[in-house]
Amino acid sequence: MKRLSNLLLALFVVSCVGCATFHPPINEQNARPDDFGVEYEWREGSLPPPYHYEYTIIIKPSSRSEIVLTPDYPSTTVPKWTEFFKVEEQSLNDLYRVMVENGLFTRKWRQLDAAPVGGSHQTLVVTAQGKLIKVEDYLVFEQQGSAKAMYEAVQALVPEEIWERLQAKRQQYMREHPHR
């Protein structure tokens, strides 16, 4: 009986340590590092011009961040529109917290063996404590929810008026450049 109790206690300790490894609690030790930065890229799937578009959101360690939208397949004749915006300290802390809570720094991110062809694509690259972590799209099922939460947290930092302004410019671009 004592051996069983010791075995159960050992299993409990191991499972608790394992949980802490994959989902560490948010505390002072998990404070946002000074070099925390994020680059999130999203590309529309394979569509005929001018319906394809793509954008990159860059969240910098300082409060000045940006979004760059390309309203078509990139080329020397297609414009790139850049909008700058400020991200408050608390919002940066909240974004870092979302990354920690979703296991960005502790998981091994795994893509599907056979990624879909032709669909939209997104990538997240995070810098923290001198390390670069990259999360590609088309993850295994059990990681998709965590990645989605992180992608949405980054997108939410872009002010709504900037999204609206870029969408209006894109609509104008599509009117001026009908299907080729």
Closest by alpha carbon to 119, among 55, 49, 70, 46?
A: 46
Q: Give the pair of three-digit tokens for residue 112.
A: 């599907």
> What confidence tier does 122 reach under pLDDT thresholds 50, 70, 90?
very high
The whole-number average pLDDT for the span 7-23 is 44
Share of the chain above pLDDT 90, in %: 71
Per-residue pLDDT band for 107 (boundaries 50, 70, 90) equals: very high
pLDDT band of 13, cuts 50, 70, 90: very low
Q: What is the mean pLDDT of the chain?
A: 86
Joined together, the tokens standing for residue 35 give 């070099």
pLDDT band at 17 (very low <50, low <70, confident <90, very high): very low
pTM of the entire structure?
0.82
Residue in 77, 37, 32, 74 with CA at minimum distance from that of residue 57: 37
How far apart (Å, rounded) are the C-alpha atoms in residues 126 and 134? 6
Q: How far is CA 132 from CA 20, 37, 74, in A?
A: 22, 10, 26
Q: What gap in Å lies between CA 153 and CA 138, rounded to an integer?
A: 18
Tens digits of per-residue pLDDT, 24-69? 443 445 789 999 999 999 999 999 999 999 999 999 988 789 999 9
Chain centroid to CA 160: how far?
18
CA dihedral 70, 76, 78, 79 (to 10 degrees): 70
